[in-house]
Amino acid sequence: MSRWQEYAKIALAGDLLTQEQALSVVQAKDDQILAMLDAAFRVRKHYFGKKVKLNMLINAKSGLCPEDCGYCSQSIVSTAPIEKYSMLKKDVLVEGAKEAVARKAGTYCIVASGRGPTEKELAEVIEAVKEIKEEHPLKICACLGILNDEQAQRLQEAGVDRYNHNVNTSASHYEKITTTHTYDQRVQTVKRVKQAGISPCSGFIIGLGETKEQIVEIAYALRELDADSIPVNFLHPIPGTPLEKQNDLTPSYCLKVLCLLRFICPTKEIRVAGGREIHLRTLQPLALYVANSIFLGDYLTTKGQESQIDYQMIADLGFEVDH
């Protein structure tokens, strides 16, 4: 049995790779990719078959953020020429849900910039969620920043199924990326929504200058956090942001990181998210042998690819959309 198949066996048994084993995944030579993907697919297929979950997001509030996250075009330190606007009205959010249904998405993500929602912003989202839930069989994921207990409870009562709050990078690398809030504050919000009865969603961004050891650190942290969904983003170095020149990812390395996540978090929804088109490039289809979820269409301030290309990719793999 190959090393990677041994790792798949460990994952399927519910056991955990050692630090040394985990590191060997991201340190592997590129000519090991196919064998590694085969092993990771064995785990993915066991838990998710050949189904692919589709997600669509709406940028409900753009820019105007007081946080200093180095990767983000919406942060206070960014000079990127993005569109800036306050929270969209309920009717616009509801209209976006109709588009999500039309695109065959099972989950509609309402994402707003900022440290956390104001009372007015929270109320707008809550009213939109109630109306969407009455009209469409969609899962609703909200991403509104740091929450307190009462806010989390109100979102749950309104019908929010999932809450996204990414840890973004490892605890040991965090201060190099953001100084206006802490890693622990992010973790607390994920725990808070889980306690409120909302499915937690938390992932990270590859390519923020972290080491391979820190990628392993993130994988273990996400396993411990026990989020149901893990979006894996790939840094899109946007001109005007502090990390605009940070661009050292390769398609093969991105695939290795995805494999690591599947071995460490075998039962979780792993979503290839922002930047996949740039960094996976022609190898994008291979990612779905590991991940079981993707975003359709555009991201927050960057363009995605045409949904039709994603439908075709899923069909060409012999996979099917998970409704």
**What are the pLDDT digits (tens) for 66-83?**
998 999 988 888 888 888
Task: Retrieve residue 161's tokens.
Answer: 């199924």
Mean predicted lDDT score pLDDT of the chain = 95
* Residue 27 neighbours by CB distance under 10 Å: 12
Q: Decide if 196 contacts 152 (C-beta within 8 A).
A: yes
| Positive/negative CA dihedral, 229, 234, 238, 244 | positive
Q: Decide if 230 contacts 202 (C-beta within 8 A).
A: yes
Q: What is the DSSP letter of 16?
A: -
* Residue 316 neighbours by CB distance under 10 Å: 9
Which domains are assigned to the chain? 3-317 (3.20.20.70)
**What are the pLDDT digits (tens) for 179-208?**
999 999 999 999 999 999 999 999 999 999
- The three-state secondary structure class of 76 is coil
Q: Are strands 204-206 and 107-112 parallel, antiparallel or unpaired?
A: unpaired
pTM (2 d.p.) = 0.96
Question: Does position 302 have pLDDT exceeding 90, yes or no?
Answer: no
Q: How many CA atoms lie within 13 A of 28 on its CB side?
A: 23
